[in-house]
Amino acid sequence: MEDLSDKRKVYNSGYLLESELKENPIEMFRDWYFMAENSSLISEPNAMCITTIENNLIPRSRMVLLKQFTWEGFIFYTNYLSRKGKAILENTQVCLHFFWDVLEKQIIINGKAEKLAENLSDGYFHSRPRGSQLGAMASPQSKVIPNREYLENKLSDLDNSTKHLEELTRPENWGGYLIKPTQIEFWQGRPNRLHDRIIYELNTDGEWVVSRLAP
């Protein structure tokens, strides 16, 4: 075993003051995301952790890729029959988490997931490389499979059987989710563990209420 109690980092690369806040948290997200995207030290700025609640009330987290954000919310794609898809079917409340260690920033988003319109899922599916499209068709995501060769053989068979097609058809069980936020927290690391925490919460009138939280 290893004692990690002495492993710590001094956060001193930025701050988050009320004077810098935007009226809409999506604008704040946009500005922070572009900072991460423009950093040569962050290889996947759109990587995010999504936490779902399964039907046994146990949370489960995994990394996915954000593919778009709009004024409505945050979009990613997956297999609807996967473990996360089934969890969302049972409970649409999810949590997204971005952590950019180089910037000493993180964003925590609570919101409600809803399936994206089919035409939008079609559009994104057909924008993917052919190999990625075939991969989505071949993989019975989250199900037990006998071995790696099972997937590779299935992918090869699909590739051979669809070579004559100009366009592949998106599987009905694969598509996008839109996460509509109800709460967005922005965290900026500060010295002495007195981190800045600003939270936006959507009230019943559809307006964002902003508060500062103690670290």
Q: Which residue has the tokens 């995010």?
A: 48
CA distances 78 to 61, 75, 99, 193, 209, Å, are 14, 10, 21, 37, 32
Active site residue 193: yes
The residue extents of the domains of the chain are: 18-128+172-213
Q: Work out the end-to-end distance of the chain between its first and last CA atoms, rounded to an integer number of angstroms.
A: 30
Please state, in angstroms and rounded to a whole number, the distance separating the CA atoms of residues 100 and 90.
Answer: 30
In 37-173, beta strands by DSSP E: 47-53, 59-65, 68-69, 74-79, 93-100, 105-115
pLDDT in tens, 117-159: 999 999 999 999 999 999 999 999 999 999 999 999 999 999 9
Tell me the pTM: 0.94
Please state, in angstroms and rounded to a whole number, the distance separating the CA atoms of residues 122 and 116.
Answer: 10
Q: Considering 62, 193, 197, 212, which one is annotated as catalytic? A: 193
Query: How much is the pLDDT for 5?
Result: 87
Q: Quick one: pLDDT band at residue 187, thresholds 50, 70, 90?
A: very high
- Cβ neighbors of 191 (< 8 A, separation 6 or more) are 10, 11, 12
Query: How much is the pLDDT for 14?
Result: 93
Please state, in angstroms and rounded to a whole number, the distance separating the CA atoms of residues 128 and 67.
Answer: 12
Residue 8 confidence (pLDDT) above 90:
no
Q: Which residue has the tokens 């500005």?
A: 31
Residue type, 16: L
Residue type, 88: I
Query: How much is the pLDDT for 6?
Result: 86
Phi/psi at 19 (nearest 5 deg)?
-65, -15
Expressed in percent and rounded to 5, the helix, strand and coil fractions of the chain are 30, 30, 40
Class for the domain spanning 18-128+172-213: mainly beta
Average of per-residue pLDDT across 32-48: 98
Q: Note whether 138 and 151 are within 8 A (CB).
A: yes
